[in-house]
Amino acid sequence: MGLDRRAFLGSSAVTGAAVAWTGAAAAPAAAAPSAPGSRPGRTYAFTVMGTTDLHGNVFNWDYFTDREFDDKAHNDVGLAKISTLVEQVRAEKGRCNTLLIDAGDTIQGTQLSYYYAKVDPITARRGPVHPMAQAMNAIGYDAAALGNHEFNYGIPVLRKFQEQCDFPLLGANAVDARSLRPAFPPYSMHRLRTPHGRDVKVAVLGLTNPGIAIWDKAHVQGKMAFPGLEEQAAKYVPRLRSMGADVVIVSAHSGSSGTSSYGDQLPYVENAAGLVAEQVPGIDAILVGHAHTEIPEYRVRNKATGKDVVLSEPLKWGQRLTLFDFELSWERGRWSVASVSAKVLNSNTVPEDPKIVRLLSDEHRKVVEYVNQVIGTSTQAMSSAEGPVKDVPIIDLINHVQAETVKGALAGTEWAALPVLSQASCFSRTAVIPEGKVTLRDAAGLYPFENTLEARILTGAQVKEYLEYSARYFVRTAPDAVVDPARLTNAEGIPDYNYDAVYGLVYDVDIAQPVGSRITGLSFGGRPVDPQERFVLAVNNYRASGGGAFPHVAGAKQVWANSDEIRNTIISWVKAKGTVDPAGFASVGWRLTRAGVPVF
């Protein structure tokens, strides 16, 4: 795989560095207040702003509901809001005293980003410029790390997006699979002019998530490899210091918890930002991404230096903007970091930037028209609101389409006689199929992820263990306890998308029992499941590749795989059928019980 020419323009193929002399031609900044014990006028302050997990959100708009975004906390989303906050910070600090970076997951997540990857793709000859590239260029980003979802649409789409960005996409641990040389620039260097002393050199090291190797195996296998974050940070941070970096910032698409969601499928930690701070000396701050949590400021003591490294993670989708405030002092002929602090700003406190709204209004209009096209009708309304605690028809619809698709694909093969099961989760508690006309956005709203479909072989015993693992999601509740549906789920922080209901079986989940002993009455076709019996499981590629660390499935034999998104498969099914009738697919296959008594 060749390395991108533009990304490496003027840089070494070995280091892959992107050099951006930010602020070099700007007027000198005003001096910051003098630090205690320093000579007057020998300090300098600057601010690094950060976003992460933008996931295709430009506007404060929900394309699945076709109205302004809102949630229980009344958060707002989108780069148009972020742009207003950024301009406010630049006005306060002085533009030449600021940098703006991102920690990845940029081009996947909304119908806006899907449209320009699949419907009117940026890779087409004379194709459009991606709305996220347009917005981020207009706002003036200085650098961005790669996220794992950057790879969802394949490397050609990512490379085209990279070409369209006026800033470098960084990934020190994204390397060519054969040469092990950087496939993207590992870092960028930025120069800030000060009123005295030499300019401040700020290095931004980009780190992405090693889970890409399994989550997007179909796109990257044999082309790219993704070594651990700590390993690559330990390689590059000393190099950046030797190049004269006064400040080293890491933009890491990796959470801070030190945990992994894919079990032992890879030897690297998924959420390694905290470990990088602890183990690699020479880092001043880390912009954290991937975990979709809000961390205004989190300090980690580096084991080698004893100094604190400041971490911050702004909330996803452009809901927050992180500010790292640095104060430097001039000592012994060089700049040194005197203090670092971090905080987040809430995008719901400002209006959208009219500049961004004008820039992308046509793209927004096209996507709204696209998602509102009618593709069929439904005999009754269906909702996912109770999906986490009940077997509801709308989740059965996903499973039915998946199972039917796999059965059709395996017809005439040696696997055709095996019974087909299917797994699905309640991906969104607000998904709705209305009675009457069904639009593309209604169907797409059932499946907001770009997952594809696979078929794997599991035994009855393995299926039961799979279900037991899934049932960890429920909070253990005694038979005589008062039931509050809002408190039954997400035990130990398990997200909704990591609770799988398996379609084609009948079983109870006894939430009065401890984890590992909850699945009772497991049957198929009216008889108990034989532990040795073989089943085909229709499963999404995230789960099949180890996502969620479910047992057995990642190592199970694959008998079929599809490159089309499950969301598109559902849309195509609705178009083909014309009418969605739950009577043809809905059934109560699983239920919650306590000591054998149904909860609902």
Contact 539/554 with Cβ under 8 angstroms? Answer: no
pLDDT in tens, the chain (600 residues): 333 323 332 333 334 455 555 444 344 444 444 444 445 558 999 999 999 999 999 999 999 889 999 988 999 999 999 999 999 999 999 999 999 999 999 999 899 999 999 999 999 999 999 999 999 999 999 999 999 999 999 999 999 999 999 999 999 999 999 999 999 999 999 999 998 778 999 999 999 999 899 888 889 999 999 999 999 999 999 999 999 999 999 999 999 988 776 666 667 888 999 999 999 999 999 999 999 999 999 999 999 999 999 999 999 999 999 999 999 999 888 999 999 999 999 999 999 999 999 999 999 999 999 999 999 999 999 999 999 999 999 999 999 999 999 999 999 999 999 999 999 999 999 999 999 999 999 999 999 887 889 999 999 999 999 999 999 999 999 999 999 999 999 999 999 999 999 999 999 999 999 999 999 999 999 999 999 999 999 999 999 988 899 999 999 999 998 877 899 899 999 999 999 999 999 999 999 999 999 999
Q: pLDDT value at position 64?
A: 85
Instruction: Give the closest residue to 207 by CA, choosing from 300, 281, 143.
Output: 143
Give the pair of three-digit tokens for residue 412: 């005439």
| Whole-number Å distance between alpha carbons of 90 and 353 | 14
Where is 362: in which H helix or E strand?
A: helix 361-371
Phi, psi (deg, nearest 5) at residue 405: -65, -45
User: How many Cβ atoms are within 10 Å of 595's Cβ, its own excluded?
Assistant: 11
Q: pLDDT value at position 122?
A: 98
List, in order, residues 6 or more apart from 139 with CB less than 8 Å away: 79, 82, 83, 86, 100, 356
| Whole-number Å distance between alpha carbons of 461 and 536 | 13
List, in order, residues 6 or more apart from 264 with CB less than 8 Å away: none
Q: pLDDT value at position 41?
A: 55
Q: pLDDT value at position 29?
A: 46
CA separation, residue 449 to residues 25, 193, 374, 456 (Å): 43, 43, 21, 20
Instruction: Give the closest residue to 458 by CA, choosing from 529, 547, 548.
Output: 529
Cα 494–496–501 angle (5° rounding)? 110
| Whole-number Å distance between alpha carbons of 179 and 201 | 30
Provide the 3-class DSSP secondary structure of residue 10.
coil
